[in-house]
A and B are shown apart, each in its own frame.
Chain A
């Protein structure tokens, strides 16, 4: 017998064995060969790739297609949220937001005067909390590399300027950021974190499979933080299960082979959620589903981050801390361009959540042009005269 006919026999044997569930004895009889020969042919079929066997882990993708109910997490179970009904009851049972009171409180926090030494400290703190971001269709490897350079050395003329917490890029740009950072990749304190947006950012309008693949890709490329978007359409039409299950699924997709996990930031796109009540519900839902950080917006929709919305989200993480002793991070993103605004956010963090939150593990600014304004303010404080855009790097 020639090799070619062995391949043909192996294909026939594989059909009979796997498709028609025949035994090796029966295959021998049908093909006119011994059952030992049939066994060898089946082994050949597997080795040569005629047959491939895959095992589907029922706890990953299969689960997230759950039509009824939610994929309850440790956090959610601890608060009695185990299924659709209890999730709905929990989220809609949250006390309503006092919009007037919230805005008034945010406005009052914005009037604090931060001067001189305090201002200097605030400016340096702001730099340490920045996720330096480039999320443009026109991003290139070179642009990401210069972004990383700026993250490492924000002000080339003043080495005392601290580093930023992270760079934030699209998934296919992660490898360029990782390559440019080299050994300086870290968690925002030990080094510069690499955050990647994922899940069909910014709209989130794609299938769950695509979103999971997007996330896995970014993590495999080396992203240490994933910024996912929630399904606003599902949220606004009342389908809380889908929103919840997606967050759970993406959190699982953040897991690496070695058992560690990329940190998960959940973006609400507060400009599309419209009401403070919705933002509060989304915040609790995301925390229950396993968010490490809750983030206001993508920066692609107006209005993006506002002070009242951030104060509201800080109140939620404070309440969660009081309830569980666990600290969740907050990241306002988009529209924070001036040091003056950023300082107001810092005041809000200290006053609402507590000064422990002024730490790269618990608070971040998603921003790109903010850094230059902070550097201009630093230069003004150092030199005593007003600086200008010619004295910071262009980006």
Chain B
């Protein structure tokens, strides 16, 4: 007796839960050879709105956690990803048509990216912050703090359907930002499986929210959203980036333009793109 296959329907990742799109829409994802892989939720502006609310609610907890603790959590994500590496390799091969060796290289790079950022969490302030020389009996300290809610358009190529997303999310998380990520339209399955990894590691609900669907439809809503503090357009094409940057100008927002960083680049400057510097004075003594 032959068995009927049970194809997976991918949903969104908002506030630590996996809801369907509020709009009820889905799109079919096909492999490069044209065979059906899965149905994926097509997010609407209201899903983006809900994701921002969830992210904002999670911000005080995540940014208030100790840097050491954030490092532990990011390392835990790497551990969980390592454990499911073979699943990712298989999904990437099916969705993009690359060879298993190429896919495995990418998954390993994604794991290493997470570990690299886990290491930076409690060292970043030492490098980016500092004690400023002042002409008085005071300490004058500059400390980097997280910007807040970061909306990002994840880049993706056939060789980086997972790595592009991880390379965008990890730098923002390192300093305590919370994220609303728009997964690439061409490779949403790896993104949503990564969401499953996040939800089974120790990342608090709402710290990372991942939406799939029509990026050009949803991204401008996030760009104009007054409660989004920063925008990473690394994965956006020129026209979309222009539209988003124009919308972002209506509110005070940090914007990372396409091309500022490579799609899979891990760099100190990429972490520094989403921090605010707080400077404080403190007396050296009462004498």
Q: Which residues of A contact B (CB under 8 A)?
A: 379, 383-391
- Bound CA–CA A388/B221 (angstroms): 13
Is the CB of B224 closer than 8 A to any CB of chain A? yes
Identify which of residues 235-287 in chain B touch chain A, using a CB-to-CB cut-off of 8 Å: 247, 250
- Complex A-B, nearest 10 residue pairs according to Cβ-Cβ distance, in ascending order: A388-B227, A385-B224, A388-B226, A386-B225, A387-B226, A391-B226, A386-B49, A386-B226, A385-B225, A389-B227
Per-residue 0/1 for B40-56: is the Cβ within 8 Å of any A Cβ (1 yes, 0 no)? 00000000010010001
Contact residues in B for A389 (Cβ distance below 8 Å): 56, 227
Q: Return the chain A residue nearest B223 by Cβ.
A: A385
A314 to chain B, nearest CB (A): 30
Q: List 21 A-B contacts (CB under 8 A).
A: A385-B221, A385-B224, A385-B225, A385-B226, A385-B247, A385-B250, A386-B49, A386-B52, A386-B221, A386-B224, A386-B226, A386-B227, A387-B226, A387-B227, A388-B56, A388-B225, A388-B228, A389-B56, A390-B226, A390-B227, A391-B226
Chain B CB within 10 Å, residue with most, of A379, A383, A384, A385: A385
Alpha-carbon distance between A70 and B287 when the two chains are bound, in angstroms: 73
B276 CB, min distance to chain A CBs, angstroms = 14
Chain A residue with Cβ nearest B224: A385
What residues on B are CB-neighbors of A386 within 8 Å? 49, 52, 221, 224-227
CB distance from A46 to the nearest CB of B (A): 65
A176 to chain B, nearest CB (A): 31
How far apart are the CA atoms of A383 and B52 in the complex, in Å? 18
Residues in B whose Cβ lies below 8 Å from that of A391: 226
Interface size for chain B: under 10, 10 to 19, 20 to 34, or 35 or more residues?
Answer: 10 to 19
Q: Which residues in A have their C-beta under 8 angstroms from that of B221?
A: 385-386
Residues in B neighbouring A385, C-beta threshold 8 A: 221, 224-226, 247, 250
How far apart sit A369 and B49, CA to CA, in the bound complex (Å)?
A: 19
**Complexed CA–CA distance, A384 and B251 (Å):** 13
Chain A residues whose C-beta falls within 8 Å of the C-beta of B227 in the assembled complex = 386-390
B contacts, CB < 8 Å to A: 49, 52, 56, 221, 224-228, 247, 250
Most B CB contacts (10 A, CB to CB) among A385, A386, A390, A391 go to A386
Q: Which residues of A contact B52 (CB under 8 A)?
A: 386
Given contacts A385-B226, A386-B224, A386-B225, 6 further A-B contacts (CB under 8 A): A387-B226, A388-B227, A389-B227, A390-B226, A390-B227, A391-B226
Chain B binding site: helix, strand, loop or mixed by DSSP?
A: helix
From residue B240, how far is it (CB to closest CB) to chain A in Å? 16
Q: Which residue of A is nearest B46, CB measured?
A: A386
Instruction: Considering the complex, give the chain A residue whose CB is closest to the CB of B227.
Output: A388
Question: For B225, what are the chain A residues with a Cβ–Cβ distance below 8 Å?
Answer: 385-386, 388
Q: Could you tell me the distance between the alpha carbons of A379 and B52 in the complex, rounded to whole angstroms?
A: 17
Given the complex, which residues of A lie within 8 Å of B56, measured CB to CB?
A: 388-389
Q: What residues of A have a CB within 8 angstroms of the CB of B228 in the complex?
A: 388
Residues of A within 8 A of B49 (CB): 386
Q: Closest B-chain residue to A384, C-beta based?
A: B224
Q: Which residues of B contact A390 (CB under 8 A)?
A: 226-227
Chain A CB within 10 Å, residue with most, of B225, B226, B247: B226
Contacts of A383 in B (CB 8 A): 250
Return B55 CB to nearest CB of chain A, in Å: 11
B220 CB, min distance to chain A CBs, angstroms: 9
* CB of A30 to closest CB in B, whole Å: 77
CA distance A331 to B253 in the complex (A): 41
Inter-chain CA distance A384–B225, complex, in Å, is: 10
CB-CB under 8 A from B247, the residues of chain A are: 385
Chain B residue at minimal CB-CB distance from A379:
B226
Complex Cα spacing A389 to B225, Å: 11
- Using Cβ atoms and an 8 Å threshold, which residues of chain B touch A379? 226
> Whole-angstrom distance between the alpha carbons of A341 and B247 in the complex?
30
Residue of A nearest to B45 (CB): A386
Q: Which residues of A contact B224 (CB under 8 A)?
A: 384-386
Q: Report the Cα distance A37→B46, complex, angstroms.
A: 92
Q: Distance in Å from the Cβ of B107 to the closest Cβ of chain A?
A: 36
A386-B47 Cα distance, complex, nearest whole Å:
12
- Measured between beta carbons, the chain A residues less than 8 angstroms from B250 are 383, 385
Residue on A with the closest CB to B149? Answer: A388
Give Cα A139 to B151, complex, Å.
38
CA of A388 to CA of B226, assembled, Å: 5
Task: Report how far A383 CA is from B221 CA in the complex, Å.
Answer: 12
Give the CA-CA distance A391 to B226 in the complex, in Å. Answer: 8
Q: How far is the CB of A375 from chain B (nearest CB, A)?
A: 12
Which of A379, A384, A388, A389 gathers the greatest number of chain B CB atoms within 10 Å?
A: A388
| Shortest beta-carbon distance from A374 to chain B in Å | 16
CA distance A92 to B114 in the complex (A): 68
Task: Report the Cα distance A245→B108, complex, angstroms.
Answer: 77
Contacts of A387 in B (CB 8 A): 226-227
CA distance A175 to B228 in the complex (A): 41
Nearest chain-A residue to B220 (Cβ)? A385
CA gap between A388 and B252 in the complex, in Å: 12
The CA-CA distance from A379 to B247 in the complex, in Å, is 16
CA distance A383 to B251 in the complex (A): 12
- How far is the CB of A157 from the nearest CB of chain B, in Å? 12
Given the complex of chains A and B, what is the CA–CA distance between A386 and B224 in angstroms? Answer: 7
Q: How far, in angstroms, from A387 to B52 measured CA to CA in the complex?
A: 11
How far, in whole Å, are A389 and B226 apart by their CA atoms in the complex?
8
C-alpha gap A385/B249 in the complex (Å)? 12
> What's the Cα separation between A391 and B221 when bound, in Å?
17
Chain A proximity of B245: nearest CB distance (Å): 14
Q: How far is the CA of A250 from the CA of B49 in the complex (A)?
A: 47
A383 to B49, CA, bound (A): 15
CA distance A21 to B247 in the complex (A): 91
Closest Cβ of chain A: how far from B73's Cβ, in Å?
26
A58 to chain B, nearest CB (A): 59
Determine the distance from Cα of A385 to Cα of B226 in the docked complex, in whole angstroms: 8
Most chain A CB neighbours (cut-off 10 Å) among B49, B227, B247: B227
Please, how many angstroms separate the alpha-carbon atoms of A383 and B250 in the complex? Answer: 10
Q: How far is the CB of A6 from chain B (nearest CB, A)?
A: 66
The complex places the Cα of A379 from the Cα of B49 at a distance, in Å, of: 14
